[in-house]
Amino acid sequence: MTKKSPPGANLDASKLRPGWDGSREEAGGEPAVIYLDYAATTPVDPAVAEVMGRSLRAERGQGNPSSMHLPGRRAAARIEAARAEVAALIGAASEEIVFTSGATESDNLVLLGVPRANAHRGRHVVSSRIEHKAVLDPCRRLEKEGFTVTLVSPDRTGRIDPQTLAAALRSDTVLVSVMLVNNEVGVIQDVEVIGALCRARGILFHTDAAQAAGKIPIDVRVLPVDLMSFTAHKLYGPKGIGALYVRSAARPHLQPVMFGGGQERGLRPGTLPTHQIVGFGAACELAREALAPESARLFSLREGLWRDLATVGGVHLNGEGAPRVPGILNVSFEGVEGESLVAGLSELAVSTGSACSSSSAEPSYVLRALGRDTELAQSSLRFSIGRFTTPAELTAAAAAVRRELRRLRALSPASETADRGSADALAGDEGHVVGEAGGPGQEVWVRFRLQVRDGSVQKASFRAYGCPHTLAVAGWVADRLAGRGRAELMPGTPADWAQQLAVPVEKLGRLLKIEDALRECLRSWPEV
């Protein structure tokens, strides 16, 4: 009898649809980018990838870990070995680790599972205004279920004052959740004091440690924490696997939010992904071994980057004065619009402190909670560095930021006003027509300056502050004003401009400021 090859054994990978597996990136078809967004996700360490690959290739270890046969028992043994490494990273016992799909699921399990399980004792939850959405959104869900949620504000350094939090506690408080390290500014919270306050009152305390695990020392044997969320992809492991530490005494006060299967002590059903868990364990082992020297290295790199950026002036360090995790530097820049700044830094992978997208201009709620005004909150960058960051990369990054700051600040109406006086003064110059809309602190600020002779525009220039679409359209319009007279000054409508330059419809309102500035030119244009 001829032995059949397993499905896919003779598959020719070259015939697969190109790009789905990252082959295009590996072929070098895209420009090099300096990766400075480790707080969003970290690259998988090659050693971790190798361990995962071996797990996937192991023919005798591919059983379902819930099965009692030999392949299942081998898979389960690998999971338990990895669970021990995950537990060791935070000083926990193996049986106190529950595997989830990531920190978001862990947060949801706690924020929904604890209040629901303890509703007979109280219906009040306390958290902070600078938590991750994975905590804040479940809090909003609790409010719809009839719970009361109190969100405590941080001080201007980004820290939650334990006494302020203590004042928010009530007799019916059943859960407090305060993150260990803030994901935007990197500030480390005093969870030791906060946890002690909660434990003295018999209140369960949870901390989101996604940005802390593997970055700073954590020992739950001495830290008064009942529940702790963390995830593999923030510490050089794979995406899609995380953990929840559940102190043994806290287990009776937590109920599941998903059902079916009974895995993970009945708290998180579903077949366990052996290869991901093995990768998580390997990542935790590497992080634990390298914690001290890597922290010192990242601290030195971060401080060097800050010194380079500070030389440009008008720069604010967010979280200054508070203890911060070594790998995160959050900086706000005066006189530039955040989206335009990021768009100009195409050679860098960084996060903006603004939540701006094509449909939203909302600034970072974390930076607003720290007291930053809207303009500074929108013009912040989060540089997060990690295991593979080099000094040369940070030198290049600082040079790129300085370049874009100079360009955008020179393009802003604020620079022209500072150098030459107000738009009214410019308008008084013979042969000059000036029109302006918007102003300092507004989302859009546009100024056109026209040199007029013999009834037509000889030369047009502009200054603008705003998103990349605003700047692009203002420049496009200015290029089309030469030779136009007063009657035909308008080169179309904002809708025409948006169509010509593919501006998203939700940003059409910003182009109205450009039209307003042109109308101001018409008002100041002397009639013959």
Contact 416, 447 (CB under 8 A): yes
**At 191, is the secondary structure helix, strand, or coil?**
helix
Point out the catalytic residue in the list 284, 356, 467, 521: 356
Q: List the structure tokens of 102.
A: 């990531």
Pairing of strands 173-177, 204-208: parallel
Return the CA Rg of the chain.
28
| Cα–Cα dist 370/310, whole Å | 20
Q: Active-site residue 356, yes or no?
A: yes
| Cα–Cα dist 243/218, whole Å | 15
Distant-in-sequence, close-in-space partners of 156: CB < 8 Å, separation ≥ 6? 370, 371
| Cα–Cα dist 221/224, whole Å | 8
Burial (0-12, 13-18, 19+ Cβ within 10 Å), 524: middle
Contact 481, 467 (CB under 8 A): no
**At 23, is the secondary structure helix, strand, or coil?**
helix
| Cα–Cα dist 399/397, whole Å | 5
Q: List the structure tokens of 473.
A: 């359209």
Residue whose tokens read 């993150």 = 179
Q: Which residues are catalytic?
A: 356
